[in-house]
Chains A and B, each alone.
Chain A
């Protein structure tokens, strides 16, 4: 029993950044914008958070650090927003570019922080509970508020939303920035809470798993909670079973990635991708069908 509870606790703690990043991605995808740059925004958030926490002495300024991380994520996302919403560029390729810029810039500017210690490690549970609360809140907003309705209509049918007087581009910009802020927060969780330190490449593909998770959970914030715990559990098992069984560690290392593919294939088989917002990935031009 204790073992099970322990596993669940670890799964929750590892699933937390996945959940936060996934909720951010759901938010901007519901408004019709795919941002594949989650991995890059997480890296920038992780660095910004760590740099501010370290620069401010490592104690008492957790809020400032978290704020900096969210700001970094949002700013990076706005770059993607400008290129895809205003300049109407391919969203998939722009997200890819954002990943490169994010990982590259974070690795470059973070070099001077490599290996430095952070003395104050904040507890994990406020972040985990906050993320679950956010999932509930998002579900509520999507289903039961005017704001949620506007957001979804911009993602489903921007032309109709435009006719109803909704400012499509403004809604999309806001959703993209919010998604970026959440990706930055997910990064800060890694560098401030999960293992308070900075190393280049510490996001280790988590951002991509979060992107895949969005499809797996069918753009539903509530289901994202379960998806994140599921992947958290996998990571826990990867550590728990390593060395215990006669399977090479590289098999465990590639397991999450193989699982993402399997999960996407299953989603495809169940027709899950039919849940995707109708206008997902398409730039909106007024006066064109």
Chain B
């Protein structure tokens, strides 16, 4: 066997390799199902029929795609600039905290409440991510570690708030804050919990950022900083400023995702595990699948949304732990990055 370098991978080759990688991933996860004592075919039948063929399943998939879309678009840009932000989970929580703070304690006219919640949430996520970027620029702290550690800190913060100063009046068993007023809740698609304004915002941002990345000087800077830091320095591009701006943007979008979850679905600040169920980590795959194109996230977010919604179904119908979603995420990620070699090289059998 021999590897022959290819000049440039065509989009068709990329699509083929990606589909093969996904197929392999589903096969490997099937082995885990076997080890767990379930027939993989039966599991996949439950997952896909329940999510694709029923209206409820569609809505659940869509609802779970919204945070993945917002976070994923931001991460696409971050990875492109080689800023490995894996703290979207914490940034999402900070967004939820700031929005809840505005909703619960800031006396503003009802019409201003929701916009201010959105702004505060974006700011919270942006600052949480900006902190990691600043630490990298000023102290060369690896952002993978700092953003991950900040996830744990954000979780503690949420628990402290809803268990302490923000604890709701009617709390029994679970801890959470007071409920938001009617005008502080995002409208939903009738009969579902799809908060469509956030969905619309996500779609819009994906398209706008795709345009910015490939059609503007700012986007050109981001691409140069990511693909060739040496050239960026030579050209006198302010690498630090590009990185910091980008960190604020991806963190801000994760913060918005947090606002969507509490203003659109839960209507109060709740425990971190229920608030997010790992959107920050799943979005890493969403972004990686999109291979640096924000607009492609419009396809990859629903794909991972389907796996999250499918995980819910497996929990309910087959009594499986939700951890199965982690297995899916990890195996898909492995297969994706492992297959990248075959974008650059052709395997020749001799």
Q: Does B321 contact A (CB under 8 A)?
A: yes
A93 within 8 A of B: yes
Tally the A-B contacts, defined by beta carbons under 8 Å.
134
Residue in A107, A200, A212, A254 with the greatest tally of chain B CB atoms within 10 Å = A254
Q: Is the Cβ of A83 less than 8 Å from the Cβ of B337?
A: yes
How does the 8 Å CB contact mask read for B330-341 relative to A, with 1 for contact and 0 for none?
A: 110110011111
Q: Which of A253-271 contact B (CB under 8 A)?
A: 253-254, 257-258, 260-261, 264-266, 268-269
B contact residues around A98 at 8 Å (CB)? 330, 334
A208 within 8 A of B: yes
Residues of the A chain whose Cβ atoms lie less than 8 Å from the Cβ of B84: 92-93
Residues of A within 8 A of B341 (CB): 87-89
A97 adjacent to B153 (CB under 8 Å):
no
Q: Does A89 contact B139, Cβ atoms closer than 8 Å?
A: no
Partner of A265, one of B141, B160, B337, B338: B141
Q: Which residues of A contact B159 (CB under 8 A)?
A: 250
CB distance from A112 to the nearest CB of B (A): 9
B161 closest partner in A (C-beta): A250
| Residue contact A268 to B323, C-beta cutoff 8 Å | no
Decide if the interface of chain A is mainly helix, strand, loop or mixed: helix
| A79 close to chain B: CB less than 8 A | yes
Please state if B326 and A101 are interface contacts (CB–CB under 8 Å): yes
Among A36, A93, A108, contact of B333 (Cβ-Cβ < 8 Å):
A93
Number of interface residues of A (CB under 8 A): 47
Tell me, in angstroms, the Cα distance from A191 to B328 when the chains sit together: 25
What are 23 A-B interface contacts by the 8 Å CB criterion? Answer: A87-B339, A93-B288, A94-B333, A98-B334, A100-B333, A104-B323, A104-B324, A104-B328, A105-B32, A107-B326, A108-B36, A109-B35, A253-B156, A254-B156, A257-B149, A257-B152, A260-B145, A261-B146, A264-B135, A264-B141, A264-B146, A268-B139, A273-B140
Give me the interface of A with B, judged by CB distance under 8 Å: 36, 40, 79, 82-83, 87-90, 92-94, 96-105, 107-109, 111, 200, 205, 208, 211-212, 215, 248, 250-251, 253-254, 257-258, 260-261, 264-266, 268-269, 273
